[in-house]
Amino acid sequence: RAFGFVGNLNAVLFRPEDIELVTDAPSLRRKFLDNLFYQFDREYRFAHINYQKVVVSRNRLLEAIRDEGKPRSSLDFWNEKILEYGKIIHQKREDFFDFVNGGTWVYLDYKPNIVSPSRIEEHLEREIASAQTLVGPHRDDFLFMEGERDLSKYGSRGEQRKAVLQIKKWEIDYLLAKTDRKPVLLLDDIFSELDEENREQVLREIKNQQTILTTTDEHITKEFPDPLVIRI
């Protein structure tokens, strides 16, 4: 049932806390990618769901090899599945980064944790010791860069917010390119967090597409020709 719903409604959510995409843990950035692809790509969704199951099963087996002396050859099946699903996930993610990078002040530096037979073999001893799968897209990351400058470490708060605005615009453009439909833009009380330049950038963007906006500033409605306003 969930697979049947994929693509019925594409949406881009923008919240004040999205600045954490730049500054916080890699898991948030992987979740961003997963949420993006889950909206329109059934192959990605299928591969990702099964990949997660494989990692859980493989971790249990690594623990059994360490603690119970199970043969290492019992990993062969799960290694094949890690390779199969991991390759699909990496290819899809690389397509997104190829699409967005170039022509703007910021770029996304993709750090794929490549899965291959040689890397699985290279990390096997550490994997058994930790009972954790250490190779694959569940350990991917990407960085927001301006030239050689990592904005998570060296960017100002304003630059980090501007970078988030850019990735949201890329998300809109990518969904449009893949589905031929503009996504609904969901804005959750973001204007109080933006400076004038970024505020104007958002307003320019949302005038071109369907937007659902929550705000405590009623004056924002004057920026639109015919808004439907619901007061709560």
pLDDT of residue 228: 62
Q: How confident is the model over 101-143, as pLDDT tens digits?
A: 998 999 999 999 999 999 999 999 999 999 999 999 999 999 9
What is the Cα 83 distance to its own chain's centre? 21
**Cβ contact 187:211 at 8 Å:** yes
Report whether pLDDT(167) > 70: yes
C-alpha span between 44 and 89 (Å, rounded)? 6
Q: What percentage of the chain exceeds 90 in pLDDT?
A: 71
Torsion angle in degrees (nearest 10) through CA of 121, 126, 129, 134: -90
Report whether pLDDT(74) > 80: yes
At CA 36, angle to CA 34 and CA 38, rounded to 5?
65
pLDDT of residue 208: 72
Q: Which DSSP string corresponds to 101-117?
A: -SSSS-EEEEE-----H
* Structure confidence at residue 191 as a pLDDT band (50, 70, 90): confident
Domains of the chain and any CATH numbers: 2-223 (1.20.1050.90)
Determine how β-strand 141-146 pairs with β-strand 107-111.
antiparallel
Residue that wins the pLDDT comparison between 229 and 57: 57
**Cβ contact 182:209 at 8 Å:** yes
**Cβ contact 119:130 at 8 Å:** no
Q: How confident is the model over 58-71, as pLDDT tens digits?
A: 999 999 999 999 99
Q: How confident is the model over 5-46, as pLDDT tens digits?
A: 455 689 999 888 999 999 999 999 999 999 999 999 999 999
Q: What average pLDDT score do residues 168-185 get?
A: 94
pLDDT of residue 198: 76
3-state secondary structure of 188: strand
Average of per-residue pLDDT values in the chain = 90
Where does residue 100 rank: exposed (0-12), middle (13-18), buried (19+ CB within 10 A)?
A: buried
The pTM score is 0.88
pLDDT of residue 232: 64
DSSP 224: S
Q: Identify the CA nearest to 45 among candidates 7, 97, 94.
A: 7
Q: Which residues, 6 or more positions from 44, have their beta carbon under 8 angstroms from its beta carbon?
A: 37, 38, 88, 89, 92
